[in-house]
Amino acid sequence: HRARRAVEVAAANLRVLADAGVPIVFGNDAAYGFSLTARPVDELRAMHRAGLSVTTCLRAATSGAAAVLGKTDRGRLAPGQRADIMAVPASTAADIGDLNRPLWVMKAGMRLDNRVRRTGTLLGAYTRGVLGTLRAGIVGHDTA
């Protein structure tokens, strides 16, 4: 009962913050009991279950995260951007879990081969992000 209540309170807090206009950025709060490390889609699903739209969740993981981290070369599709793109088999509006089933991935404008589906695209990207954060020491001093 306590764990369920903690998740309900966290979801309510997320909605209050989003409604107040606080920037919501994708992350992983594994220590707080409602997501698992290296399973980023679970975190996006939790955000969606909490009441955020799929669009808000995706922005939190892309342009919102890039903006908060001061990464002006990524997070959106526009000329001069890194062109990190992932195609999924269906509309993420129907099932945000489709992010776990990429058809193809483009990183920095170069399409990766089909091995990415077998080796865990999101897991690999998440792991690289965690390692980059650890190397940086603190946010704002990215060495990657």
Position 14 scores a pLDDT of 93
Measure the CA–CA gap between 58 and 62, rounded to whole angstroms.
6
On the question of pLDDT at 66 being above 60, the answer is: yes
d(CA 105, CA 115) in angstroms, rounded, equals 10
Residue 143: predicted pLDDT: 39
Structure-model confidence comparison of residues 47 and 94, the more confident one: 47
- Using pLDDT thresholds of 50, 70 and 90, give the confidence band for residue 144: very low
Mean pLDDT of 81-105: 80
Kindly tell me the sign of the dihedral angle through the C-alpha atoms of 137, 130, 22, 73. positive
Which region, left, alpha or beta, applies to residue 91 given φ > 0 means left and ψ of -120 to 50 means alpha? beta
* For range 63-81, the mean pLDDT: 88
- Assign 140 a pLDDT band (cuts: 50, 70, 90): very low
CA distance 77 to 84: 8
- pLDDT-derived band of residue 141, with 50, 70 and 90 as boundaries? very low
Of 92, 2, 8, nearest to 51 by C-alpha is 8
